[in-house]
Amino acid sequence: MTAAVSLQNASRHFGPVKAMDAVDLEVAPGEFFAMLGPSGSGKTTCLRLIAGFEQPTSGEIRIFGEAVQGVPPYRRNVNTVFQDYALFPHMNVRENVEFSLMLRKVGKVERAREAEAALELVKLGGYGDRRPGQLSGGQRQRVALARAIVNKPKVLLLDEPLGALDLKLRESMQEELKLLQRQLSITFIFVTHDQGEALSMADRVAVFNNGRVMQIGTPEEIYRRPNTRFVADFVGSSNVLPPEFVDGVLGVRKWASLRPESIHVAKSGTAGAAQLTGMVIARSYLGATTRLAIQMGDLLLHATTNSGDDVAVEGEQVSIGFAKDALHLMEDAA
Ligand code: ATP
């Protein structure tokens, strides 16, 4: 099957800055694909290259098999939803959504019908006469989405589209966006620095660091089997264990990750494949679970336990157990 979007050895350098460096990736048609990484890691540059706002310094980009070198943004079968939504403040909601149809010379009646259908899809039917300034942040976000999907693009590019929303709204929009994507079967490529958002929404995630893609995989693969220390650290709050420690447990001198929820903490000795002791130095109540920071010699480990259990307190000595196969070996590359 032809990929919706593919990048082959694509780079974008700004003088000495390698904003994006030798990136290979393929996004399947209908996929919800997240580009995740810390600030400055190159994900926005990657999105802008796909959109056509930037040209690669080297390498190739294809959209549905067609090389798009030199093709301007409006001739690519993609639409972008920007973080700041970029709505026209002097136009009402309907006019905002109709705008691109007008540019494409779609007739008035059809324009109105398409715009209303797009607004219905994002649950803003009946809001057509309002101005952006008369809407909440979440509603503005939906107008931006309606404005993009009204063009029926094959690929929708979203640059931190939920970044401006408060946590509660963000969470409900995450679900809505995912439902909408399934409903429309459009390929979504979504940029975020929020690992929770990427893991919960995407079919696959590409983790960026320093302009490079460190790993691409399903949320579960990325979370459970990070290939590097960087990915383990960035995606979730894994414990990254040094080779000396891993050697003592498995007899292999390699870095390994160990998820906080894989660690069993008990007040006295427990039967586990590997067993160690340490002292609780911090305890954070998170609702259903409690997070413990446990000092074990030079090593600081984090463990999560059910809050309902008899959780150890600060200063308490505990024993720590985990199954050997909970240790996931990784390469050193940061
Ligand atoms: P954020 O989450 O903060 O938006 P990002 O991962 O999207 O970050 P990019 O915006 O792609 O990162 O930037 C990657 C790197 O390239 C950064 O170091 C940035 O400063 C640099 N960069 C981006 N655009 C330009 C430009 N036009 N000129 C020079 N450097 C740039």
Return the ligand 1 atom nearest residue 18 CA: 16
Q: Please give the backbone phi and psi of residue 227, each rounded to the nearest 5 degrees, phi first.
A: -90, -15
Residues with CB under 6 A from ligand 1: 14, 17, 19, 37, 39-45, 193
% of the chain surpassing 70 pLDDT: 97
Statement to judge: residues 190 and 321 lie in one domain: no
Domain count across the chain: 2
Give the pLDDT confidence score for residue 172 in this predicted structure: 81
- Predicted TM-score (pTM) of this structure: 0.86
Amino acid at the residue 157: L
Give the pLDDT confidence score for residue 275 in this predicted structure: 63
Give the pLDDT confidence score for residue 334 in this predicted structure: 56
What pLDDT band is residue 273 in, cutting at 50, 70 and 90?
very low
- Residue 334 covered by a domain: no
Statement to judge: residues 198 and 317 lie in one domain: no
- Residue 296 covered by a domain: yes
Give the pLDDT confidence score for residue 274 in this predicted structure: 47
Statement to judge: residues 184 and 250 lie in one domain: no
210 φψ region: left (φ > 0), alpha (ψ -120 to 50), beta (else): left
Statement to judge: residues 167 and 268 lie in one domain: no
Give the pLDDT confidence score for residue 236 in this predicted structure: 77
What's the average model confidence in pLDDT over 296-301? Answer: 92
Highest mean pLDDT among 21-25, 109-113, 252-256: 21-25
Residue 1 has pLDDT above 90, yes or no: no
Q: Which residue, of 186, 216, 233, is where some domain finishes?
A: 233
Give the pLDDT confidence score for residue 282 in this predicted structure: 95
Return the ligand 1 atom nearest residue 19 CA: 16
Q: Comparing 12-21, 24-33, 237-246, which segment has the lowest mean pLDDT?
A: 237-246
Statement to judge: residues 25 and 142 lie in one domain: yes
What's the average model confidence in pLDDT over 287-296? Answer: 93
Return the ligand 1 atom nearest residue 12 CA: 16
Statement to judge: residues 221 and 252 lie in one domain: no
What pLDDT band is residue 137 in, cutting at 50, 70 and 90?
confident
- Residue 47 covered by a domain: yes
Residue 268 has pLDDT above 70, yes or no: no
Return the ligand 1 atom nearest residue 46 CA: 11
Statement to judge: residues 190 and 301 lie in one domain: no
Residue 307 token pair:
């809050």
Statement to judge: residues 171 and 117 lie in one domain: yes
Pocket test for ligand 1, best of 18, 20, 44 (most atoms within 8 A of CB): 44
What pLDDT band is residue 161 in, cutting at 50, 70 and 90?
confident
Residue nearest to ligand 1 atom 28, measured at CA: 14
What's the average model confidence in pLDDT over 4-8? Answer: 97
Ligand 1 centroid – CA 278 distance (Å)? 42
What's the average model confidence in pLDDT over 72-87? Answer: 85
Which segments of 238-298 are extended strands (E)? 239-241, 255-258, 264-266, 274-285, 289-296
Ligand 1 centroid – CA 223 distance (Å)? 25
% of the chain surpassing 90 pLDDT: 61
Q: Which residue, of 233, 265, 299, is where some domain finishes?
A: 233
Pocket test for ligand 1, best of 7, 17, 195, 210 (most atoms within 8 A of CB): 17
Return the ligand 1 atom nearest residue 54 CA: 27
Ligand 1 centroid – CA 18 distance (Å)? 9
pLDDT in tens, 20-43: 999 999 999 999 999 999 999 999
Ligand 1 centroid – CA 41 distance (Å)? 7
What's the average model confidence in pLDDT over 292-298? Answer: 93
Q: What is the CATH number of the domain that holds 315?
A: 2.40.50.100
Contacts of 233 (CB under 8 A, 6+ apart): 240
Which secondary-structure segment (H or E) carries 149? Answer: helix 137-149
Give the pLDDT confidence score for residue 280 in this predicted structure: 95
Residue nearest to ligand 1 atom 29, measured at CA: 14
86 φψ region: left (φ > 0), alpha (ψ -120 to 50), beta (else): left
Q: What is the CATH number of the domain that holds 168?
A: 3.40.50.300
Apex 43 CA angle, 39 and 44, nearest 5: 90
Residue nearest to ligand 1 atom 5, measured at CA: 40
Statement to judge: residues 79 and 175 lie in one domain: yes
Q: Which residue, of 199, 233, 267, is where some domain finishes?
A: 233
Ligand 1 centroid – CA 277 distance (Å)? 44
Return the ligand 1 atom nearest residue 211 CA: 14
Residue nearest to ligand 1 atom 25, measured at CA: 14
Statement to judge: residues 169 and 108 lie in one domain: yes
What pLDDT band is residue 278 in, cutting at 50, 70 and 90?
very high
Ligand 1 centroid – CA 269 distance (Å)? 50
- Residue 279 covered by a domain: yes
Q: What domain range is 319 assigned to? A: 237-329
Statement to judge: residues 202 and 279 lie in one domain: no
Give the pLDDT confidence score for residue 296 in this predicted structure: 92
pLDDT in tens, 182-236: 988 899 999 999 998 999 999 999 999 999 999 999 999 999 889 998 999 888 7
Statement to judge: residues 176 and 119 lie in one domain: yes
- Residue 325 covered by a domain: yes
